[in-house]
Structure 1
Amino acid sequence: MMKNVAFLSATVAMLILSGCSSKEPAIDATANGNGTSIGTNANANGTSGTDSNAVIAPITNANANDAAGSEASASDSQLASILFDYDKFNIREDMQASMAKNALLVKDKAVKLEGNCDEFGSDEYNYALGLKRANAVKSELVNAGANADSITMVSFGEGNPVCLEKTQECWAKNRRVDFKLP
C-alpha cells in the first residue's frame, strides 16, 4: 500500500512538472513563407486591425545582429530613430521634428520600420508594443503623404537593443522605431 502511494505521488509530480511551459512565443512560420508571421496590430488611436505589411520577427542572433552588422547607406544615416516613453506607442512632442524630417526623406521611397522595446514585459507583449510603435510611425508617414504600400513594419520586441546597460537612459534608447531603406 505504501509503495502504491509513493508511486502515485511520484507519477503525479512528474506529470505536473512536465506540463510547465516555456516563455517562447508560438510563431507560425508558414504565414508568409520566410519564417516570420503576419501580425495583428493596433493603430495610434488604439483600435486594432491587421496589416499585411506587418511581421513579428522571432528573436535570433541573425535578427539581433542584422542592424548592427549591416553597412548603413548615406540615406539611412540621415534618418533619425523615433523614441517612445515607457509602455507607450504615441509619438512624443519632442520627436515631431525628427518625424517630419524623416517623412520628407522617405516620402517617395520604400522604407522598413523596425519597432523595438526595452527589456520589461513578456516577449509577446514587447512584440505587440514594437508593432504598435511602428504602426504609429507609419500612420504619421502616411498622413505626411507617403505611400502606405511602400512601408513595411517589423517588431523585434526586446531582441534588438542598442544599449545593454541597466540604466534609465539606456532603456530609453531601446524604446524606438528605426527607419531602414532597402
Structure 2
Amino acid sequence: MKKIVYAAALAALFVGCSQKAPVEAPKSIDQQATVNVDVKEDVDSKIQRINSSLARIYFDFDKYDIRSDMYSAVSSNANILKDDAKEFNVLVEGNCDEWGSEEYNQALGLKRAKAVKDALESQGVYGSRIVLKSNGENNPVCTDKTKACDAQNRRAELKVQF
C-alpha cells in the first residue's frame, strides 16, 4: 500500500512540474520616465536674494522718526520678513552722516534702528527676531562732501541672517 501512495505522490509531482507557467517578455518602454524633483533653494542663496530685495529706510538730518515717504518701504520690508523670510532673524543697522560727534551718531543710529524695529513690529514682524545695531557714522555708502551724499548715509538697513 505504501508503494501505491508513493507512486501516486511521485506521479503527481512529475505531472505538476511538467507544466511551466508561460513567461511573458518584458514590455518595451516607449517613453523615458520623468522624475519630478523639488529642488530647494539653499540657505545662503535665499538669504542673499532676500537681502537684495529689502529696501533701505532713509531719515532726515538729525532725526530718527520714519519719514512719510518711507512708510511703503517699511511695509514692503515687513511683508517680505513675514512671508519669505519668516525663518530668519533680522539685523537692523542704523547709520548716520558724519555730522556730530561719534558718540552722538552712535546713539542716533541706534534710535533709527529702534524706530524701524517698532514700525516692523506694528506690521506683524515678531520683535524677538529683530536685532539692533548702530554703525554711527562708520559705514558710509557715499563719501562725497555734498548734501545728497550725506542724505544717503542717514539710513537704516535690514539684513536677514540665520
TM-score with structure 1 length normalisation?
Answer: 0.60
Identity of aligned residues (%): 50
For residues 142 and 181 of structure 1, the distance between their equivalents in structure 2, rounded to whole angstroms, comes to 15
Q: Which has the larger radius of gyration?
A: 2
| Paired letter, 2:94 | G
Q: Is 1:94 equivalent to 2:69 in the alignment?
A: yes
Partner of 1:117: 96
Structure 2: runs of 5+ lacking an equivalent: 1-46
**What's 1:73 paired with?**
48
Q: Which residue of 1 aligns with 2:129?
A: 150
1 CA distance for matches of 2:72 and 2:139? 25
1:140 deviates by 0.5
2:116 partner letter = V
1:126 is the counterpart of 2:101: no
Q: Look up the equivalent residue of 2:61 and give its one-letter code.
A: Y
Cα distance between partner residues in 2 of 1:106 and 1:161: 25
1:105 to 80, 84, 101: 80
Task: Output the TM-score relative to the length of structure 2.
Answer: 0.67
The letter of the residue matching 1:130 is: G
| 1:180 and 2:155 correspond | no
Runs of 4+ with deviation above 3 angstroms: none
Q: List gaps (5 residues or longer) in structure 1.
A: 1-71
Aligned length: 111
Please state which structure has a larger fraction of its residues in strand: 1
State the shift of 1:136 in Å: 0.3
| C-alpha RMSD of matched pairs (Å) | 0.9
